[in-house]
Copies of this chain bind each other. A is one copy, B any other.
Amino acid sequence: MHSEVVASRSADQRDSSRESRNGTPTLDAVSLAIIQQLQEDGRRPYAAIGKAVGLSEAAVRQRVQKLLDQGVMQIVAVTDPLTVGFRRQAMVGINVEGDVESIADVLTGMSEVEYVVMTAGSFDILAEIVCEDDDHLLDVINKRIRALPGVRSTESFVYLKLKKQTYMWGTR
């Protein structure tokens, strides 16, 4: 069923993760294959994964543990926020004067902020907000975000309908 990853034990196969210049670990083909397996089913048994990627159960277990410890991946339940009672979501584009990153850090600290990314283009920051209702959303955008010193302007895009949400990188 799952195409076997041929384990030609040469070169870069070994050392599953090595610190590269920028600090983020580099992943080898086997770890990638493991992640791929877990993207299909986060609860798939280690033995089954091992069979698919050509490793022993224990080895898979070690690698998964390391990937989790390193923060390279996390195994979690994901849901459609609407189903879980969060009825209002929005993407907020933000323009900043001064230090962009410090503003981004503050946003990161807000529990309603699900997603923060610094961008090139007509916004400096994009932030996704997840709220329970309109009042809550309004409060976060107007009272908390726009009030931040350094925030020059914001533009909101209220979500009408979520069409796609995948977690299948590498599975193509």
- A binding-site residues for B, Cβ under 8 Å: 24-25, 27, 32, 35, 38-43, 72-86, 90-91, 93, 101, 104-105, 107-108, 111, 113-123, 126, 130, 155-167, 169-170, 172
Please measure, in the bound complex, the distance between the C-alpha atom of A164 and the C-alpha atom of B158, giving whole angstroms.
20
In addition to A27-B85, A101-B161, 8 A-B residue pairs with Cβ atoms within 8 Å of each other are A35-B77, A72-B79, A78-B167, A79-B169, A91-B117, A116-B164, A119-B157, A121-B158
B160 touching A120, Cβ below 8 Å = yes
Please measure, in the bound complex, the distance between the C-alpha atom of A117 and the C-alpha atom of B114, giving whole angstroms.
15
Q: Which residues of B contact A90 (CB under 8 A)?
A: 119
Please measure, in the bound complex, the distance between the C-alpha atom of A120 and the C-alpha atom of B137, giving whole angstroms.
14
* Residue in B27, B74, B91 whose CB lies within 8 Å of A84: B27
Please measure, in the bound complex, the distance between the C-alpha atom of A130 and the C-alpha atom of B32, giving whole angstroms.
16
* Residue in B72, B91, B114, B172 whose CB lies within 8 Å of A119: B91
Most B C-beta atoms less than 10 A away, residue of A32, A83, A126: A83
Contact A83/B120 with A78-B74, A78-B76, A164-B115 known, Cβ cut-off 8 Å: no
B118 touching A159, Cβ below 8 Å = yes
Q: Which residues of B contact A114 (CB under 8 A)?
A: 164-166, 169
Please measure, in the bound complex, the distance between the C-alpha atom of A74 and the C-alpha atom of B40, giving whole angstroms.
9
